């Protein structure tokens, strides 16, 4: 289906006023130093589901370590994960490195500038493709993220449920009709900037909005009611018992499988299952240590509780101090390390939260 802009919407005036505002008000961000497609690509992957202020130092460090497609493609995965540590959603950086290897092999390290080529790369969806193509190559491609969907829902008084794919397709078509010739990258960034700084999710700053006069939702006084977004399914709670198992002033850690949640990350041993009382929880953890690692341990006392929420799961972790009693040879994925050595291993955010509870050795 072909979607068209409302007749009363002034395309030229809107693009002009938005770009004038962007030129004078845009934030000084490290990935805006130049339009190198690799730099743009890395920044867009980092910014997915992560705040700008959080990303800045990670981006600077990552680009220092892996300044080119080739550097990232040839780097050991463990080094790449370590540079990403703390950003979460580790599948993003795994896909980024896999795609960098493909770009190095197929395109000589040059990020492709054709939509049909760039969209085949792992981890690059319609938004990321549009951002790279427009910002780095000035291709008139839309880059529709949550900010842009919110802006256009209000701007054009769209009541579509933006959680549905059809709404994104519709907004992509509408944005494509507004992109000015020669400034596609700046226009897309201006829309994102407007959504982040002015047309915010709650209490949009309409009086300071540079495109106030074009907004159909504001004209009707319903800007705070949009966008229409279906309620997401709440994350499923999971109760976990976590072992801080000490032996000779060292703590047991293990590497998760290479597939699945937190793949390849280092964690403290965990046991999941029905255990309501403290005695049951201790028994569950002791049996888990024996089954997983061949370790007999005494579960001493609780060090505290930690919670971490993923998009689909909420981990409720009770952390226990455990004392090693006896054990067989550990599996290859597990080892005892000193608490000081933990910094050498890549831990997910969920288990970084556990580290302040560790006893001082």
pLDDT of residue 280: 94
**Would 37 be classed as within a structural domain?**
yes
pLDDT of residue 259: 87
**DSSP element (H, E) containing 271:** strand 270-272
User: How far apart are alpha carbons 90 and 84 in whole angstroms?
Assistant: 8
Tell me the C-alpha to C-alpha distance, in Å, between residue 87 and each of 58, 92, 302.
8, 10, 28
Q: Residue 55 is encoded by which pair of tokens?
A: 């990303």
Sign of dihedral through CA atoms 197, 115, 39, 17? negative
Last residue of a domain, one of 160, 193, 225: 225
Torsion of the alpha carbons at 30, 33, 39 and 43, rounded to the nearest 10: 30
Last residue of a domain, one of 190, 225, 260: 225
Concerning whether 225 is annotated as a catalytic residue, the answer is no
Q: Look at phi and psi of residue 130 and say left if phi exceeds 0, alpha if psi is from -120 to 50, else beta.
A: alpha
Catalytic residue among 8, 44, 296, 329: 44
Q: Residue 82 is encoded by which pair of tokens?
A: 């370590």
User: How far apart are alpha carbons 359 and 302 in whole angstroms?
Assistant: 12
Whether residue 172 sits in one domain with residue 288? no
Q: Residue 123 is encoded by which pair of tokens?
A: 């981890």
Whether residue 116 sits in one domain with residue 48? yes
Q: What angle do CA 139, 140, 141 make, to 5 degrees?
A: 95
pLDDT of residue 361: 60
3-state class of 247 per DSSP? strand
CATH (domain of 64)? 1.10.340.30
Q: Could you write out the three-class secondary structure of 125-150?
A: CHHHHHHHHHHHHCCCCCCCCHHHHH
User: How far apart are alpha carbons 94 and 76 in whole angstroms?
Assistant: 11
Whether residue 268 sits in one domain with residue 188? no
Last residue of a domain, one of 192, 225, 258: 225
**Would 230 be classed as within a structural domain?**
no
Q: State the residue range of the domain holding 311.
A: 236-357
What is the domain count for the chain? 2
Inter-residue contact 284 to 273 (CB < 8 Å): yes
Whether residue 327 sits in one domain with residue 192? no
Strands 313-327 vs 236-247: parallel, antiparallel or unpaired: parallel
pLDDT of residue 269: 98
Whether residue 147 sits in one domain with residue 18? yes
Whether residue 82 sits in one domain with residue 124? yes
**Would 180 be classed as within a structural domain?**
yes
Say which residue the tokens 């960034």 belong to. 189
**Would 2 be classed as within a structural domain?**
no
Buried b (16+ CB within 10 A) or exposed e, 240-256: bbbbbbbeeebbbbbbb
- Write out residues in the chain with pLDDT < 70, as ranges: 361
The pTM score is: 0.86
Whether residue 99 sits in one domain with residue 179? yes
Inter-residue contact 229 to 235 (CB < 8 Å): no
User: How far apart are alpha carbons 267 and 253 in whole angstroms?
Assistant: 6
Whether residue 180 sits in one domain with residue 314? no
């Amino acid at each position: 289906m072909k979607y068209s802009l409302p007749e009363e919407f002034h395309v030229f005036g809107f693009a002009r006023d938005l770009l004038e505002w962007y030129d004078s008000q845009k934030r000084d961000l490290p990935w805006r130093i130049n339009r190198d497609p690799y730099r743009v690509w890395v920044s867009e992957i980092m910014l997915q589901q992560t705040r700008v202020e959080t990303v800045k130092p990670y981006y600077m460090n990552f680009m220092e370590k892996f300044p080119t497609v080739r550097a990232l493609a040839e780097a050991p995965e463990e080094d790449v994960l370590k540079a990403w540590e703390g950003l979460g959603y580790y599948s993003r950086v795994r896909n980024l490195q896999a795609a960098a290897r493909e770009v190095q092999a197929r395109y000589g390290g040059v990020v492709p500038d054709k939509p049909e080529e760039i969209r085949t790369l792992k981890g690059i969806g319609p938004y990321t493709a549009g951002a790279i193509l427009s910002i780095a190559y000035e291709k008139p491609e839309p880059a529709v993220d949550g900010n842009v969907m919110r802006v256009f829902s209000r701007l054009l008084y769209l009541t579509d449920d933006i959680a549905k794919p059809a709404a994104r397709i519709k907004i992509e078509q509408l944005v494509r009709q507004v992109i000015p010739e020669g400034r596609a990258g700046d226009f897309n960034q201006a829309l994102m900037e407007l959504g982040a700084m002015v047309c915010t999710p709650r209490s949009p700053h309409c009086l300071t909005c540079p495109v106030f006069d074009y907004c159909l939702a504001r004209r009707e006084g319903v800007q705070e009611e949009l966008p229409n977004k279906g309620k997401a399914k709440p994350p499923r709670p999971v109760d976990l018992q976590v072992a801080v198992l000490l032996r000779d002033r060292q703590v047991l850690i293990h590497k998760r499988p290479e597939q699945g949640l937190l793949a390849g990350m280092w964690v403290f041993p965990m046991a999941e299952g029905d255990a309501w009382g403290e005695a049951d929880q201790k028994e569950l953890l002791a049996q888990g240590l024996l089954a997983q690692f061949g370790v007999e341990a005494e579960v001493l006392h609780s060090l505290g509780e930690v919670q971490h929420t993923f998009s689909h799961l909420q981990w409720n972790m009770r952390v226990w101090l455990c004392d090693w009693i006896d054990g067989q040879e550990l599996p290859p994925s597990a080892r005892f390390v000193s608490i000081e050595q933990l910094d050498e291993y890549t831990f997910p955010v969920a288990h970084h939260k556990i580290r302040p509870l560790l006893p001082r050795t």
